[in-house]
Structure 1
Amino acid sequence: MSGKPNETETAAWARLIRASTHVLAAVEADLKTQGFPPLGWYDVLLELKRERDGALSPSDIENRTLLAQYNISRLLARLETAGYVSKEKSETDGRSVLVRLTGEGADLLKRMWPAYAAAIHRHFASRLEKGEAEQLGSILARLLPDRAAD
């Protein structure tokens, strides 16, 4: 094995990146048109909601989302200013900060989901044949670290 992709693999790679970029931009545009914040806000709030106590460290949020650390800091500040999250000192480590989902943040998730779901259907699911979503999901899961396949 040469360790280099062949033409078919290179073309598939390029299509994956272009498709991802295109679909994400289309979904973001739909959310913006309906007056919602960017998808990154939803992703952070959803990760907080998935936690039993609704709180994560900024580094855990970074690891669970596609956002870089320098973006996480600014995004968390915006979410806190908007009242969707609160920051508090960790009870176990006074130097650490935990980010906690607020009631307003949980409400935003509920309000955004119908628009987000419709955008997923419009720009992604409606373009797949029966069974293709399962096939695609299975293929993509093999490209992700174990935790990210959720």
Structure 2
Amino acid sequence: MRAHAQDCYGVTVDNTAAWAGLLRVHAALVPLLDQELQAAHGLPLTWYDVLLELDAAPEKRLTMTDLGAAAVVSRSRVSRVVDELVRAGLVEREPNPGDKRSAFAKLTPEGWARLAAAAPTYLAGIERHFTGRMTAAEATTVATALGKVLRAHEATVIRPIG
């Protein structure tokens, strides 16, 4: 009996189990967290993510390029999400004096208030559906391992200036 079974592509199953698990957990939990945020606060998870990144940024603003790199929403979608947030009064576009071709997305006071109101729901959802299903040591191991992968990826990615 082999220690490492291979699938039809010759890939070692042990090497793909973590990846498959990550994808399945993401597919199961993201829609659930999105549904909870929308039901409780009328705030889609994509909006929450963008508001969270803007809140953490200096001056509560980022260029679209930087926001696309920071937010979990895809870079191609970030502009549409910002447009939705602008229409909702949660974000405003601000000219970038250093680069006339770009603009900042800036968190408004209303955006901050909605983010703050939704944060307990978001954090409780993460605890209930994700970290609450593992020990503290397991959560630390997952965070450490994923952080290691992300840092390695970020070290190899060339980002445009802007």
The verdict on a shared fold, with TM-score over 0.5 as the criterion, is yes
Where relative contact order (Cα < 8 A, 6+ residues apart) is larger, the structure is 1
Corresponding residue of 1:121:
127
1:30 to 7, 28, 36: 36
2:53 to 47, 53, 66: 47
Q: Which runs of 4+ in 1 moved over 4 A?
A: none
Give the share of equivalent positions with the same residue, in percent.
Answer: 32
1:7 to 13, 16, 32: 13
Inter-CA distance 29–87: structure 2 relative to 1 (3 Å threshold): same
Inter-CA distance 66–130: structure 2 relative to 1 (3 Å threshold): closer
Corresponding residue of 2:86:
80
Cα deviation, 1:17-40, whole Å, max 9, x if unaligned, reads 101211212211221221331111
Corresponding residue of 2:66:
60
Counterpart amino acid of residue 147 in structure 2: A
> What CA distance in whole angstroms lies between the structure 2 residues aligned with 1:128 and 1:10?
21
1:89 to 83, 91, 95: 95
1:144 pairs with 2:115: no
Corresponding residue of 2:77:
71
What displacement does 1:94 show?
2.2
Specify every segment of 5 or more residues in structure 1 that has no aligned partner in the other structure, as ranges: none
Moved more, 52-61 or 66-75: 66-75
What displacement does 1:147 show?
9.3
Question: RMSD of the TM alignment (CA)?
Answer: 1.8
Query: Residue 53 of structure 1 aligns to a residue in which SS?
Result: helix
Query: Residue 89 of structure 2 aligns to a residue in which SS?
Result: coil
Does the Cα contact within 8 Å between 1:36 and 1:112 map onto a contact in 2?
A: no
Counterpart amino acid of residue 24 in structure 2: R
Q: How many residues are matched?
A: 145
What displacement does 1:86 show?
0.7
Corresponding residue of 1:133:
139
Does the Cα contact within 8 Å between 2:68 and 2:74 map onto a contact in 1?
A: yes
> What CA distance in whole angstroms lies between the structure 2 residues aligned with 1:100 and 1:127?
36
Counterpart amino acid of residue 133 in structure 2: R
TM-score, normalised by the number of residues in structure 2: 0.82
What displacement does 1:5 show?
4.0
Specify every segment of 5 or more residues in structure 2 that has no aligned partner in the other structure, as ranges: 1-9, 155-162
Counterpart amino acid of residue 83 in structure 1: G
